[in-house]
Amino acid sequence: MAKELFFEDVEMGDPLPSLAFQFDPASIRALVDVWWPERGATRFDSEAEAHRDGFPRPIVPSHLSIGYLGNVVLAWAGNVRLAKLDSICRQVLFNNDHVTCQGFVVDKALQDGLPLVHADLYMESEQGERPLTSSALILVPTREGPSAHTLPGLPPPVAGAATSVGLSSVDAQGLKVDFDRSVIGVEQDLGAVTITEERIVAYARAVGASDPIYWDRRAAQHGPYGGLVALPTFCSILSTRSRGGIGPDVKLKFGTTGQEATLAVENYRLIRPGDVLRILAKVKDVYAKTGRSGTMVFTVYQDTFLDPQGTPVAAVTRSSVNF
């Protein structure tokens, strides 16, 4: 386990560990098997499928990329918890690419009684580019307070704060874009999923988690959580949009190419084997940006994961861009 760290000791500009990774095709295939076991060849592990989608070779799924970035936080200190990771996908990454993940502290504050550290994380390619950047909120315990392992997570959002049904930002911009406005803000109940130990372990191994408390039952039983828990980015593989568009479909007709733009995972409590989570999915918004390369249209999706009592456990917000 990494060293212990306390809120009082954290300073602005403190570096987080630098971790080097290669996007190994075997790990990518293993990840596809975890989140979409019924799917055959994909653009993530098949040359033919990648070419069909307009890519020169198989690409890296964002679930894997953010999992690697999350490892930077876990390697920083063994007594902290990643509460939220909000990522921007600036460039497509490909199988066998080499990257370095690192970051630094930009702020810290007590929010709603929680000791939170804000860090900027980024992934750097061999060419010196930053194809993935992230903003992280990290629970770091105070010396006199409870451990981060027993602290509550971020407070869940207030119910009823959804986008107005049928309205979107792209309409306010006056652009003529063809899509189904009736699904905006409408929540769909997609049923429940049971979290298995096998899935938690497979995801941890696929993203290269170094601490065995996330993939070894015996180590986890003697660890701070008293058993296996899912990595903070685990819910990204449960997101409906990561499984071939299951859930609300905005039926957007714009451009010829689409790809991931952003991905955010927010955790309100720990997820353990045996948890039963109900998925509520919705399209939050459709908006456009115009720059030197023309107009791009973004679609924002959100999945909220609830426990059997209806309490939010986690949320995944992602956006795709068409151009």
The residues near 53 (Cβ < 8 Å, ≥ 6 apart) are 43
Residue whose pair of structure tokens reads 């921007």 in the numeric block: 88
| pTM for the structure as a whole | 0.90
Tell whether 186 and 269 lie within a shared domain. yes
Can you tell me the distance from the alpha carbon of 21 to that of 269, in angstroms, rounded to the nearest whole number? 28
Let me know if residue 54 belongs to a domain: no
Is pLDDT above 80 for 242? no
Tell whether 12 and 142 lie within a shared domain. yes
Let me know if residue 147 belongs to a domain: yes
How many helices and strands, by DSSP H and E, does the chain display? 6, 10
In the chain, the amino acid numbered 226 is G
Tell whether 290 and 165 lie within a shared domain. yes
Can you tell me the distance from the alpha carbon of 200 to that of 265, in angstroms, rounded to the nearest whole number? 16
DSSP-assigned beta bridge partners for residue 119? 105, 136
Q: Do the Cβ atoms of 55 and 45 come closer than 8 Å?
A: no
Summarize pLDDT for 4-54 with one digit per residue, the tens: 999 999 999 999 999 999 999 988 888 888 777 777 788 898 999 999 888
Tell whether 6 and 66 lie within a shared domain. yes
- Mean pLDDT across the chain: 89
Closest CA to 187 of 212, 164, 215: 164
Number of domains into which the chain is organized: 2
Let me know if residue 34 belongs to a domain: no
Can you tell me the distance from the alpha carbon of 298 to that of 280, in angstroms, rounded to the nearest whole number? 21
Tell whether 277 and 292 lie within a shared domain. yes
Summarize pLDDT for 43-82 with one digit per residue, the tens: 898 999 999 888 999 999 988 899 999 999 999 998 999 9
Domain CATH for 147: 3.10.129.10
The residues near 20 (Cβ < 8 Å, ≥ 6 apart) are 98, 99, 100, 101
Tell whether 273 and 291 lie within a shared domain. yes
Q: What is the pLDDT of residue 162?
A: 46
Enclosing domain of residue 118: 1-23+60-155
Tell whether 171 and 312 lie within a shared domain. yes
Can you tell me the distance from the alpha carbon of 39 to that of 46, in angstroms, rounded to the nearest whole number? 12
DSSP-assigned beta bridge partners for residue 133? 88, 122
Can you tell me the distance from the alpha carbon of 208 to that of 189, in angstroms, rounded to the nearest whole number? 32
Q: Which of 106-115, 148-157, 167-176, 292-301 has the highest mean pLDDT?
A: 106-115
Tell whether 4 and 108 lie within a shared domain. yes
Between residues 158 and 106, the one the model is more confident about: 106
The residues near 307 (Cβ < 8 Å, ≥ 6 apart) are 275, 276, 277, 278, 313
